[in-house]
A = this chain, B = another copy of it.
Amino acid sequence: MSLRDIARLAGVSVKTVSNVVNGYAHVSPETRAKVEKVLAELDYRPNLSARNLRRGRTGVIALALPELDAPYFAELSRFVIDAAAEHRWLVVIEQTDGGLDRERQALDGVRDHRVDGVILTPFAIGAEELAARTDDTALVLLGERIHDGPADHVAIDNVRAARDVTEHLIGLGRARIAALGAQDNSASGTAPLRLAGYRQALAEHGLPETVAKVERYHRAEGAAAMAGLLALDPRPDAVFCFNDLLALGAMRTILAAGLRVPEDIALAGLDDIEDGRYSTPTLTTVAPDKAELARIAVDLLRQRIDGRPGQPPREARAGYRLVPRESTLGR
């Protein structure tokens, strides 16, 4: 069964069938549906391996992120895999643990160019090293703080999101608002952006800052850092944690100490992972549009793979919204 036969049955041109089979854009939804109906009836399966070899492609992209077992990254990965499937791409997942060596490996096209492109969430690697990169594997940066940098980049506006959360806590009458999640060890993480947004809001209202640092964004570190904040005199009456995992760890420490959330200490996170929708109290957070982040990242990568080298890097923004819940509003 040739493309010509399929074109005849679907009543479209051979070129259109080719566009649909290859997952290219520029086909109207109606035409695409018509062709796909014929393909389904014929149980047509393109020989992808052969075609990819011919085009010098593997049909595989890599998603390199710090850790798959952090719920935010697991949820984001689901959307990236779904978006990639629209282009008939498989997604290899590489875990960097935020380590410099493993991020460098991912940048080199994941172990000897076995992938067509890489979506990277960097933590340890810096803008300078990225700019000096010689490997030409297509690259998109997802969700960190390297802006106007050396590669296509998509993220939410982290400064504004952090300012929104802090304004929310100020609006509830809290005056001793701590930030939990500053980091010394990250070259590319979002911590400095979130810290900047927190500071902007406090400065506008003439409120003092209290900043607790962590190395990684895990529940255990949120729990430990919160114990440090509880030892302050006076202790904070609100805490903005730089992600939901830190906030859920902090919540455990507060409740285990016999204090109430939000009556004694209001608590907010960022990421909107599902855990925070079922905790008691439920967790106030910022919900990045993860589906949009994934879709934009995959689209940018697609254009980078199909495009000419030397095109200038692009910046894209995904949306977010503040989601106030019981941990700040009460029940």
Whether, in the assembled complex, A26 has its beta carbon less than 8 Å from a beta carbon of chain B, the answer is: no
Q: How far is the CA of A246 from the CA of B280 in the complex (A)?
A: 15
Residue ID in chain B nearest A61 by CB atoms = B92
Question: Given A46-B112, A71-B69, are A249 and B278 also a contact pair (CB < 8 Å)?
Answer: yes
Q: Are B95 and A93 neighbours in the complex by a CB distance under 8 Å? A: no
Interface locus among A10-18, A117-125, A143-151, A251-259: A251-259
Whether, in the assembled complex, A77 has its beta carbon less than 8 Å from a beta carbon of chain B, the answer is: yes
How many copies of the polypeptide does the oligomer hold? Answer: 2
Contact of A69 among B48, B49, B75 (CB under 8 A): B75
Q: Which residues of B contact A111 (CB under 8 A)?
A: 48, 88, 90
Q: Are A74 and B68 neighbours in the complex by a CB distance under 8 Å? A: yes
Whether, in the assembled complex, A269 has its beta carbon less than 8 Å from a beta carbon of chain B, the answer is: no
Whether, in the assembled complex, A114 has its beta carbon less than 8 Å from a beta carbon of chain B, the answer is: yes
Whether, in the assembled complex, A193 has its beta carbon less than 8 Å from a beta carbon of chain B, the answer is: no
Least distance between A279 CB and chain B CB atoms (Å): 7
Residue ID in chain B nearest A73 by CB atoms = B74
12 A-B residue pairings within 8 Å (CB atoms) = A45-B112, A48-B114, A60-B92, A62-B90, A69-B75, A88-B111, A90-B110, A90-B115, A219-B274, A251-B278, A252-B278, A252-B280
Q: Top 10 closest A-B pairs, CB basis?
A: A74-B74, A255-B280, A90-B92, A252-B278, A69-B75, A48-B112, A69-B78, A219-B278, A69-B74, A68-B78
